[in-house]
Homo-oligomer: A and B are copies of this chain.
Amino acid sequence: MVNSTMLDLGSNRSVIRELFEYGKKRAAECGAENVFDYSLGNPSIPSPAEVNENAVRIMRERSSIAVHGYTSAVGDNGVRTAIADDLNARFGTSYKKENLFMTCGAAASLISVFRALTVDHSSEILAIAPFFPEYECFVKANGGVFGYVPADVPSFQIDFKKLEAMISENTQAVIINSPNNPSGVVYSEETVARLADLLTQKSARFGHPIYIISDEPYRELVYGSATVPWVPSFYKNTIVCYSYSKSLSLPGERIGYVLVPSECDGFTDVYNAVAGGARASGFVCAPSLWQYTVGACASSRPDIAGYDENRRLLCGALTEIGYRFAPPHGAFYLFIESPTGDGASFSETAMKHNLLLVPGNGFKCDSYLRAAYCVDGEMIKRSIPAFRAAYLEATGNA
């Protein structure tokens, strides 16, 4: 009576969501202060003040019809120009509004691009492990083939030998996500340059462009001296998927964009096909108030001091206990090596101490666990004994 794929997708909660629900149950049983929930990547720092200020101002100053009416499908002109100007000021580029397509957040950006590049049922999108599990669901549920390259442990850059072996004439795009969910790793310039070289060669060999889809919701979340290379400057056939969910702490509002640089091979067709992918998926326009608001806040950056403090606190304490983890330079995730070598079993050990860590198998990296440190810093302090106890239990030193 119903589509079995949709039924599966709608019935099966993600492991992350299961853990989160378990945490709420445990909090009710033994007190919220005794549960250490690192499961969800929900921003814990508020939006910059100017976000709400602008949203309110726009509603007060403009007519209801102007604020809440349809925008064109591609997005408001002024908003797209403001975003292009900001990108140009930062990256020395010369984008125009015609390069930008406003979307209902990262998932909408990705699906619109996946549908655009899925020429037929043999078209393949490759990801690099570890990766956000919804990639696979988004590609497969929209008619494409999904593949992935195993993780390059422990640096979490790219295993180019394995990637090279996987690229075929059916490969339409390689999706990268740096700063990375779940590893927190930022790709180096060297990694991006090598990827560009490889895809240039492979595109020539197979006679069609192989695009990079650069999924960048965490672009603004980097710490210390780390920087995020601007991928289109390394490889012209890069399509950028962006979301304001993490950078402006607006995940519930569903606002982001796709950037298709004019330098892309087949620019007009790619841009129009992205628009078609959005239309086919029911994205009439991105939410209008949030378009105007992010346009007004195009140069706003998050105050990430709180995340950075959490990161230092957690990394310091875990190192002292004996944990090892991926280089924690971006996003708000720490990717922890299981002391037993198996993420799933250690997640269960940790749960006994009311410590909720997401096992890495969902991200195709079985020996690790993800801790989302977008949490209250006090929770981190309270959680250290649990981290210690779980470690000792798992390593048999309890």
The interface of chain A, by Cβ under 8 A from chain B, is 1-11, 42-44, 46-47, 51-52, 55-56, 59-60, 63-65, 67-71, 104-105, 107-108, 110-112, 115-120, 123, 137-138, 141-142, 208-209, 249-254, 265-266, 269-291
Q: Which of B46, B265, B283 contacts A104 (CB 8 A)?
A: B283
Q: In the complex the two chains form, what is the Cα distance from A270 to B4 in whole Å? A: 10
From A69, A141, A272, A280, name the one whose CB has the most chain B CB atoms within 10 angstroms. Answer: A280
Chain B residues near A55: list those with CB within 8 A.
59, 289
Copies of this chain, count: 2
- A-B pairs with beta carbons under 8 Å apart, 25 shown: A1-B208, A1-B209, A1-B269, A2-B117, A6-B115, A6-B280, A7-B272, A7-B273, A10-B276, A10-B278, A42-B69, A43-B65, A46-B63, A52-B64, A56-B60, A65-B249, A68-B251, A69-B251, A104-B282, A104-B287, A107-B284, A108-B282, A252-B289, A287-B287, A289-B289
Chain B residues near A111: list those with CB within 8 A.
281-282
Q: In the complex the two chains form, what is the Cα distance from A287 to B254 in whole Å? A: 6
Q: In the complex the two chains form, what is the Cα distance from A341 to B7 in whole Å? A: 47
Whether A10 pairs with B282 at a CB distance below 8 angstroms is no
Nearest CB to that of A49 among chain B residues?
B64
Q: In the complex the two chains form, what is the Cα distance from A59 to B279 in whole Å? A: 30
Whether B11 pairs with A272 at a CB distance below 8 angstroms is yes
A202 to chain B, nearest CB (A): 14
Q: In the complex the two chains form, what is the Cα distance from A108 to B107 in whole Å? A: 14
Q: Which of B10, B68, B112 contacts A279 (CB 8 A)?
A: B10
Whether A59 pairs with B64 at a CB distance below 8 angstroms is no
A80 to chain B, nearest CB (A): 15
Nearest CB to that of A252 among chain B residues?
B288
From A7, A9, A46, A112, name the one whose CB has the most chain B CB atoms within 10 angstroms. Answer: A7
Whether B269 pairs with A119 at a CB distance below 8 angstroms is no
Whether A287 pairs with B253 at a CB distance below 8 angstroms is yes
Given contacts A65-B46, A119-B1, contact A274 B10 (CB under 8 A): yes
A377 to chain B, nearest CB (A): 15
What 15 new A-B contacts, CB under 8 Å, besides A6-B274, A68-B253, A252-B291?
A2-B269, A3-B276, A5-B280, A6-B116, A10-B116, A10-B279, A43-B69, A46-B63, A46-B65, A47-B68, A56-B56, A68-B252, A70-B251, A107-B282, A251-B284
Chain B residues near A7: list those with CB within 8 A.
116, 269, 272-273, 276
Nearest CB to that of A56 among chain B residues?
B56
